[in-house]
Structure 1
Amino acid sequence: MKSLYPLLLLGVLLVVGGTSAVAYEGDGISPVTGTKTQEKGPLVVEVVLRTNYADGVSTNQSVYETIWAMEDFWSQYADWQLVDQEEGRMIFERNLEDISPASKQNGHFGLTEDGVLTIFDGIPAEEKVIQTFFQIDVGKLESQRREQLMEGIPVESWYQFEDVIQSFSKIKKEEPVQ
């Protein structure tokens, strides 16, 4: 008798609900009546994670999330701010008091031709600007510091980044009063 049970159940489903009784999990159709139920399957959304770093670099990472419970989803992104939402897509953003991985790996402080303190991707001579800061009064620069900036001062850490900005801000060229 046990082996007949699955066949009997299938027969009841087909007789009661017709061919529409065959349903897939999560599609919101009752396997007995073949009608729509209030129960829905998981929601799948694209989540874009934008990270803004103190050196002016922004990175985006895109992931697809299957949402079974909204509470769990929101708690997963509690440290992020929702900045945009449309059907099937959510964009979250966060600001970090740190320098970007790209700057840590290959960033160098240097000067542009007009004396603006800048972070370059690589040495300043390659002129691949990541972020500009302010114009320096080059006349007040010690020759050794000028040479360091011409060669490029590697950006190694957040602490060193802040130290360089602070030390050069002391000889920042003042804007003329208009």
Structure 2
Amino acid sequence: MMIFSLWRKVKQKLKRGKRPIWQLACGMLLSTACLFLSPAAEGSAGAEPQDVPQAESPVVRQQPEGGGSSVIDALSDMQEKVTVKLRRVYICGVESETIGVLSSADALRMMKQHHEWTAIVDEQGAVVMEQRIDDLSESCKRSAYFGLDKLGRLSLFDGEPKKEKVMRTFFQLDVNYMESSLPKERVEELENGIRISDKDAFNSVLSTYSDYAVARTQKVMKRTY
């Protein structure tokens, strides 16, 4: 029916004599071809695109860091030599030393021999092994004092508190409560600095003054209501 309609239009134009016969015939052929081809073209345009296989992204391996097991994994992958350091962390004081440049195998063997140690790989790529010791370092035994810092916190000082060389801070003290509960000389003793030279003295002072920590005194006050 569509071809018949096109032929009628061609005959009308022939009668009007406005365009040559060959141009009209070509036009009719082109129109007919478009009618037959357009469904296929539309089908192709409307077809869903097929998935194009893409190259796999490269796997990025993150350098292990942090705990001992991660460092062991890192050392297992290393082939070159590494600098190994030992950091001794005491309840008072820290001491560090460089063990030397070892092969990754020797560093790995040392880590496995000391399961209680932790380790990290520092920014320079050195393996820093950390040993925790439940005692005072030698330097602490020579010069450590317990005292109050400017904010009223129980702190450990290198030398007398007046030198203000704080090594470690423990907790905030309720100074008013402490002054009303302890003899004056005990409060003054803490203000001037309490010399400690061994672990027992350290634990004794810490235990005594922990009774006057702000959090603990607040709990005691709440119980009285």
Q: Does the alignment pair 1:96 with 2:126?
A: no
Partner of 1:114, secondary structure, is: coil
Separation in structure 2 between the aligned mates of residue 127 and residue 86 of structure 1, nearest angstrom: 31
Separation in structure 1 between the aligned mates of residue 145 and residue 124 of structure 2, nearest angstrom: 41
Aligned residue number for residue 83 of structure 2 = 46
Shift of 1:96: 1.7
Partner of 1:47, secondary structure, is: strand
What TM-score results when the alignment is normalised by the length of structure 1?
0.62
Shift of 1:173: 1.8
Q: Does the alignment pair 1:84 with 2:121?
A: yes
From 138, 151, 162, the equivalent of 2:203 is 162
Residue 118 of structure 1 aligns with an amino acid whose one-letter code is: S
- Decide whether aligned partners of structure 1 residues 86 and 162 sit closer, same or farther in structure 2, where only a CA change above 3 A counts: same
What TM-score results when the alignment is normalised by the length of structure 2?
0.51
Shift of 1:165: 0.5
From 148, 161, 164, the equivalent of 1:124 is 161
Runs of at least 5 residues in structure 1 that lack an aligned partner in the other structure: 1-42
- Decide whether aligned partners of structure 1 residues 76 and 115 sit closer, same or farther in structure 2, where only a CA change above 3 A counts: same
Structure possessing the higher relative contact order (Cα contacts under 8 Å, 6 or more residues apart)? 1
- Decide whether aligned partners of structure 1 residues 125 and 64 sit closer, same or farther in structure 2, where only a CA change above 3 A counts: same
Aligned residue number for residue 142 of structure 1 = 183
Shift of 1:101: 2.4
Quick check: 1:44–1:88 contact (8 Å CA) kept in 2?
A: no
Larger helix share, 1 or 2: 2
Shift of 1:63: 2.0
Larger strand share, 1 or 2: 1
Aligned residue number for residue 110 of structure 1 = 147
Quick check: 2:111–2:117 contact (8 Å CA) kept in 1?
A: no
Partner of 2:214, secondary structure, is: coil
Residue 151 of structure 1 aligns with an amino acid whose one-letter code is: N
- Rg bigger for which structure? 2
- Decide whether aligned partners of structure 1 residues 78 and 152 sit closer, same or farther in structure 2, where only a CA change above 3 A counts: same
Aligned residue number for residue 61 of structure 1 = 97
How many aligned positions are there? Answer: 135
Quick check: 2:145–2:193 contact (8 Å CA) kept in 1?
A: yes
- Decide whether aligned partners of structure 1 residues 66 and 172 sit closer, same or farther in structure 2, where only a CA change above 3 A counts: closer
Shift of 1:160: 1.1
Separation in structure 1 between the aligned mates of residue 91 and residue 116 of structure 2, nearest angstrom: 17
Residue 186 of structure 2 aligns with an amino acid whose one-letter code is: R
Separation in structure 1 between the aligned mates of residue 193 and residue 125 of structure 2, nearest angstrom: 45
Separation in structure 1 between the aligned mates of residue 101 and residue 113 of structure 2, nearest angstrom: 11
- Decide whether aligned partners of structure 1 residues 135 and 66 sit closer, same or farther in structure 2, where only a CA change above 3 A counts: closer
Residue 169 of structure 1 aligns with an amino acid whose one-letter code is: S
* C-alpha RMSD of the superposition: 3.0
Partner of 1:97, secondary structure, is: strand
Residue 113 of structure 1 aligns with an amino acid whose one-letter code is: K
Quick check: 2:83–2:102 contact (8 Å CA) kept in 1?
A: no
